[in-house]
Structure 1
Amino acid sequence: MENFKKVSASKITLSELMLPSHSNFSGKIHGGYILSLMDQIAFASASKYSGKYCVTASVDTVDFLNPIEVGELVTLKASVNYVGKTSMVVGIRVTSENIQTGKVKHCNSSYFTMVAKDNSGNSVPVPTLILSNPEEVRRFYESVRRMNSKKEYKAIENTFDYSSAEALKNLEAFNVKLEL
């Protein structure tokens, strides 16, 4: 009998007040600390959905859009956007709120690929994803688009000759000096 679950079975929200101990040398919240929180919520979302221990296989693009200040309330929201046979793409949105003014900022969004494991460390199947609304369908297809783009880029990268005359000539467009 096949196992099915809705996206709602994976939804997790995590909120944390940012403390001075989370800040970097410029007084903003350290990006590494936010990445750690993102990894935690990706694990929680994927594990809740699959019912299995999950590991991070990859992280797809983390663009820090707005700095987070000490004293702000950071909220991370995560849900499974896509499932394969043993893997899941967990979408994460990070916002921060100035608790004195109520102003909310979108700080970043990212996509973590998580893999379900058994007690021996072997990859195991995850439930089939039930998409229940147009937003879930959009997120699913966006995950497919990102995966296809990665595959296309890798195919080009694997066949590209970095030492060809054309490749070396193209370096002139960048801020590099070639001394071969």
Structure 2
Amino acid sequence: MKKPQRDITLRFLAETQDVNFGGKVHGGAVMKWIDLAAYACAAGWSGRYCVTAYAGGIRFIAPIHVGSLVEVDAKVIYTGKSSMHIALEVNACDPKSLNRRLTTNCIVIMVAVDQNGHSEQVPQWVPESEEDIRQNETAKKLMEMRKKIGEEMEVFAD
């Protein structure tokens, strides 16, 4: 059996259609890139079609300029029965200098589903390095925090 792929990096140039009214790459474009990388990472890990269940903690740290070389790094940091928590970082640089800088980071939860939209089991990921263990523990803490936030958000539901 082939070993699942835990991480992936998407690389491309930021294009003019990605620009907002301020002349920088639109946050929505960055979020789309994050979702694409999260999907590719989750599908590579699970070998299944996956859907986005949650995207959170998105921090826009620095702007991305048109023509920048963009790298979206995604890696599995926790697996549940059918879910995969994916940590993502977006870095950008002038392709002539290659001085990368962090622009955005977040966590996305993807769920493997069958052709009817029912969740499917995914391979378990077991952390090995100290960094893996730290990130895995943080993912577990974030799950508890999201549960509390969800309960508080119920006041806005009709």
Q: Same fold (TM over 0.5)?
A: yes
How far does the alpha carbon of each residue in 1:91-143 deviate from its partner, in whole angstroms, 9 at most, with x for none?
Answer: 11000011233322100111111000012211011111121211111111110
Residue in structure 2 matching 1:48, options 31, 44, 51: 44
Equivalent residues in 2 for 1:158-177, closer than 5 Å: none
Q: Give the deviation of 1:158 after TM superposition.
A: 7.1
Distance 1:159 1:52, change over 3 A: closer
Counterpart of 1:174? none
The reply to whether residue 132 of structure 1 matches residue 143 of structure 2 is no
RMSD: 1.9
Distance 1:32 1:85, change over 3 A: same
Distance 1:158 1:94, change over 3 A: closer
Q: Give the deviation of 1:152 after TM superposition.
A: 2.9
Aligned residue type for 1:132: E
Runs of 5+ consecutive residues of structure 1 not aligned to the other structure: 161-180
Counterpart of 2:74? 78
Q: Give the deviation of 1:63 after TM superposition.
A: 1.4
TM-score (norm 2): 0.90
Aligned residue type for 2:33: L
Radius of gyration: which is bigger? 1
Q: Give the deviation of 1:159 after TM superposition.
A: 9.1
SS at match of 1:76: strand
Runs of 5+ consecutive residues of structure 2 not aligned to the other structure: none
Counterpart of 2:86? 90
Counterpart of 2:17? 21
Structure 1 runs, 4 residues or longer, greater than 4 Å off: none
The reply to whether residue 145 of structure 1 matches residue 149 of structure 2 is no
Aligned residue type for 1:53: Y
TM-score (norm 1): 0.79
SS at match of 1:143: helix
SS at match of 1:62: strand
SS at match of 2:138: helix
- Provide the rounded CA distance (Å) in 1 between the counterparts of 2:98 and 2:112: 38
> Number of aligned pairs?
154
Instruction: Give the percent of matched residue pairs that are identical in Structure 1 and Structure 2.
Output: 33
Q: Give the deviation of 1:18 after TM superposition.
A: 1.1
